[in-house]
Structure 1
Amino acid sequence: MVDILHRVAVEKIPPDAVYRALTTIDGLAGWWTTDTSGDASEGGVIEFRFPPGGFDMKVLETTPGSHVRWEVVDGPEEWVGTTVDWRLNAVDDWTVVMFEHQGWERPVEFMHHCSTKWATYLMSLKGLLESGAGAPAPHDVHIAFPD
């Protein structure tokens, strides 16, 4: 198994604000995709839609201000059964976000694409929190993935 790993620090934003951006439908729609719906509470399923598809994530764990964990229950074959883990740590005037998309079977080309997209969305999260303006799909950075 292989994982996608990223780290981003958000300046002058407390962990609770980052946590809300990861655990509310409005927060998620502000940085990942505007087409977000479902139940973001622990045990619920969040539906994220992108042109041309999407993902359904079951919320496995939420620890206010410090941790969020999802399991992919529907979406591309390579994603189903993987988990997405967010750990938040306050360091001085920063909140450090440690991100892991865990459990990929092998590092296929699509995983490389997804790693790049995750990086753009983490920067969108940072932008939303620091300036009030994220870049969720369909307003995100587009990178080609030819079939």
Structure 2
Amino acid sequence: MADILHRIGVTASPDAVYDALTTIDGLAGWWTEETEGSTDIGGVVQFRFIPGGFDMKVLESQRADHVLWEVADGPEEWIGTRVRFDLKREDDFTIVLFKHEGWEKQAEFMHHCSTKWAIYLMSLKRLVETGKGEPSPNDVMISNWH
């Protein structure tokens, strides 16, 4: 198994980051404008992009601490993988430890997704620090996979 790992520090409270990860408006503000569904534990959030999308089942959600999703639908390589956001406070920063875990193997698509996750995590940073993220379709296109 392989994982995608990223770490960002933001000058916003853990509560602000948590809200951006656990509300439809928050998620639409940094990941994709086309976001709907239920962010409650056991709920499914639908994220739509050019050219497709993902359905994430919410497995865990601990206020200002962590969020865990499982991919219920999307590209074959993503099905059954998990997306985790762990939050902690360090000095004046909220640290977001991101993990997209459980990839069956490292492949070119995983490289693409790692870069896109980094772009979206920077969008999350901008959203919680300035009030304006760069969600899809306003994100940086990096290839024909978008």
Taking structure 1 as the reference length, the TM-score comes to: 0.97
Question: Runs of 5+ in structure 2 lacking a partner?
Answer: none
1:125 is paired with a residue of what secondary structure?
A: helix
- Corresponding residue of 1:142: 141
Distance, in Å, in 1 between the alignment partners of 2:144 and 2:69 is 25
1:67 aligns with 2:56: no
Question: Runs of 5+ in structure 1 lacking a partner?
Answer: none
The count of aligned residue pairs is 145
Structure 1 runs (4+) greater than 6 angstroms displaced: none
* Percent of paired sites with the same residue: 64
Cα-to-partner distance string for 1:95-137 (whole Å, 9 max, x where unaligned) = 0000000000001100000000000000000001111110000
8 Å CA contact 1:113–1:145 kept in 2: the answer is no
Distance, in Å, in 2 between the alignment partners of 1:77 and 1:66 is 29
Distance, in Å, in 2 between the alignment partners of 1:128 and 1:22 is 11
Distance, in Å, in 2 between the alignment partners of 1:133 and 1:30 is 7
Distance, in Å, in 2 between the alignment partners of 1:22 and 1:41 is 12
Distance, in Å, in 2 between the alignment partners of 1:35 and 1:18 is 19
Distance, in Å, in 1 between the alignment partners of 2:46 and 2:40 is 13
- Corresponding residue of 1:49: 48
Letter in 2 for 1:16: D
- Corresponding residue of 2:81: 82
- Corresponding residue of 2:127: 128
Distance, in Å, in 1 between the alignment partners of 2:43 and 2:72 is 11
1:10 aligns with 2:10: yes
Taking structure 2 as the reference length, the TM-score comes to: 0.98
Query: RMSD between aligned alpha carbons?
Result: 0.7
Distance, in Å, in 1 between the alignment partners of 2:130 and 2:60 is 28
Distance, in Å, in 2 between the alignment partners of 1:135 and 1:46 is 19
1:30 is paired with a residue of what secondary structure?
A: helix
Once the two structures are TM-superposed, the CA of residue 145 in structure 1 deviates from its matched residue by 3.6
Letter in 2 for 1:128: L
